[in-house]
Structure 1
Amino acid sequence: MDRRVRKAVLPVAGLGTRVLPGAKTTPKNMLNVFDRPILSYVIEEGRAAGIEHFVFIVGRGQGTIEDYFDASPEIETALEAKGKADILAEVRRDLPKPGQMSFVRQMAPLGLGHAVWCARDIIGDEPFAVMLPDMLMAAEPAALAQAVSAHDQVGGNIIVVEPAPEGEAHKYGIVDLEGQTGRLNRMRGMVEKPAPGTEPSNLFISGRYVLQPEIFPLLEKQGKGAGGEIQLTDAMAELMKVQPFHALEYEGVTYDCGDKIGLLRANVAFALRHPSLGADARAAIKTLL
């Protein structure tokens, strides 16, 4: 029987090419969305799904990620001295308990599949989540919580999907379903960027997964695929031959923060939904239109 999903892998070693020069000295997942870094929202989503241990796959020059999730005595002491309890609480909100985060150096950008494989010894022999931090998901319940709930229901492997924009399915990795009833359906395959008119569905893979540990030996022997990189989708297709995969069409909205316009959209959307500053944000945005 499948066990509870307790750990999540976050591949954050990418260069952030699409958001340069903003990501030249700041890791792309540490760029702000309104009042805090992208990763802050992703960790919040993971915790809402019951994740107890986050495994970051990092590259060179990304020490600021580890620093962000560490205590800052100088800042905290200064805030306490000034009586700024509300700001202090915000600063401390993302801090993990000891041992709840691990940081693994990928060494070379060899692809998403290789990044996930780097977490094998920390994940061990249990199901785990993969969260692509570029994809910021606004959902209630949280997107990963919806995936974990689906896993609790049907077991196996869960791929979170959503409808592609009209006429653009050929730009994405599209799932092929055995049948489509409701939001959770068994898969029979995946097609990466199918030729226009040949798409098996309009549902694309959108950045959240629950996978079984049997993916690791497949990734270890996985050859290079599209783009000369070790692709996670290739190993998933192989695992699908022996384990069930289900696609979950989650309820929510995705913002691609690895793209400049997507990052802008995320900033506006999360500013508008901020519990205390949303009204002021709306007024500020109106003055610019």
Structure 2
Amino acid sequence: MAPAITNAEEFAEQFRAAGIPSACISSKQTPAEIARLIENFRAGHIRVLTNVDMVGEGFDLPACETLIIATRTASFPRYRQLCGRVLRPAPGKRRAIIIDHTGMVAQHGQPDEPVKWDLINPPKGLERVPTAPCAECGAIYKVRLTHCPECGAANALHERDQIGGYYFDIKRIDAELIAQARCERRKQQQLERLRSEIVWPDYRDGSDLVGRTIADLRRWFVARLQAGGVPIIDINAWLTSPAAADRQLWMTHFTAADLKSRSSSKPMLIYKKCIDNR
């Protein structure tokens, strides 16, 4: 039982990833699709069937043995209906297993506790508040309490993340870790870009003749380095160095006539000299 269709689909995917045949039924599917999946579940081809309010009252499959509650409800009758899906007897069935991920038992009690049902005035909960022994001191106290009133030990039934009646992220991570992961992902994306394409910084060479010539020389220089086999990531590293932005370097070692040269020897010589001087 999931709180939202997205969760139900994710739960089914997780079971399949673990090698357990599973499927999700939801209101987004046609009646024929739902009937086919339920029949496969009945036949044992599907081991786990995830859903949101699709197998409540009227769902007829008494052989079902296990219920996984991964949603919350404030309604006592609905809670009992959920549990009732696996509490019905069937040939060869000896017991039912209810896995309560949301602490519903602390709010509504054990699913087999006696209840006086009345269609006119349906029960809103148990007539008596369920109790449980403290795991630390053995004192009996109300199971709804979060801590033992005698010794202060935490009630294990409340020591879990509460799942609301809405979509939640089943991969909840600390906000700091999320930010760190995003930062690492951006770094990885930037690194991949630096390996695959030339990233040109804004050099502000100016729009005068000298500035335009330096910009053309720099592009020519990079093309010659690529032709000489220098890795793109190394060229990008050089482009961010002070040498690449130094107008004096271009005015001292190159002229506009170099733009017509296809040789890599001069650019490679200057490149290696700049690397050696770093």
TM-score, structure 2 as length reference = 0.28
Structure with greater helix percent: 2
Answer 1 or 2: higher relative contact order, Cα 8 Å, separation at least 6: 1
Structure with greater strand percent: 1
